[in-house]
Amino acid sequence: MARKASLKTEPLKKTSKRLPRKSPKKPAGRRGTTKAVKAAREGKAAKVKPGAVQAKADRKTAPWTKAEVEEAFRRFQEAMPEPKGELHHINPFTLLVAVVLSAQATDAGVNKATPALFALADTPQKMAALGEERVRELIKTIGLYRTKAKNVIALSEKLVAEHGGQVPGTREELQALPGVGRKTANVVLNIAFGQPTMAVDTHIFRIGNRTGLAPGKDPLAVELKLLEVIPEKYMLHAHHWLILHGRYTCLARRPLCEQCVIADLCKWPGKTVPIAPT
């Protein structure tokens, strides 16, 4: 009787390489979007990167068209036809002093100190007579008050000696006064003399770069770009619109994109709720 042939199987060879395991894909959903919208509704519309990293990213935003710039300022005008500066003053001289005092300080802080000061001295002659020590005492709640008191007395004396006690109406003459830089001069020219200047402070500098409206590495670059792109008919109030927008809506740390009247026009990639105004 023939024997049945035995079946031999060869052992499986072990492979040295393991195939990577694929993680299961999570189903796409609206959870992330909903969370972002909820955060925006609570005033947490965007997270800003630190310092130089954010500044560099801001300058990469897309440029605005002429039609978009026109529409943005049309909306600003519609929302606030007659914007006003928030520094309290009586005349061009007290405006000049208030702006000098506001450097590296808040308008609110300056407004708390100036009523008593201006009650005693609302002209260059009275301010010079008041003296540096007395001015220092009256403004001591404001940052850098010692240097500012010195500048206020010095500029008052120069106004009396060289300008007949009047505030000059040119940028060059204003910047020749102690404690007066380009931004201060632009504010005075705009508010006191009705000139269409653009005073770039920290708020306007941030908006220019963040939105892509006027990107620039320094305040002068942003100023010149804004003067180039903003239609002439809006220039008189453009400075105030942008400052107030930066102070109360386009905040440094938590921009309120959901309240922004130009959210749909803004080019900033960090915004989370580009809601068109109704």
Tell me, yes or no, if 264 is annotated catalytic: no
Calculated CA dihedral for residues 94, 140, 185, 168, nearest 10 degrees? 40
Q: Which amino acid is located at 100 in the chain?
A: V
Question: Active-site residue among 183, 217, 233, 264?
Answer: 183
Q: Which amino acid is located at 204 in the chain?
A: I
- Among the residues of the chain, which ranges form H helices? 31-41, 51-58, 66-79, 92-101, 107-120, 124-130, 132-138, 145-163, 171-175, 182-193, 202-211, 219-229, 235-248
Buried/exposed 73-102: b ≥16 CB within 10 Å, e otherwise: bebbbeeeeebebbbebeebbbbbbbbbbb
Between CA 158 and CA 162 the distance in angstroms is: 6
Question: Active-site residue among 148, 201, 225, 271?
Answer: 201
Cβ atoms of 84 and 240 closer than 8 Å: yes
Cβ atoms of 45 and 258 closer than 8 Å: yes
Tell me, yes or no, if 201 is annotated catalytic: yes
Between CA 159 and CA 124 the distance in angstroms is: 7
Q: List active site positions.
A: 183, 201
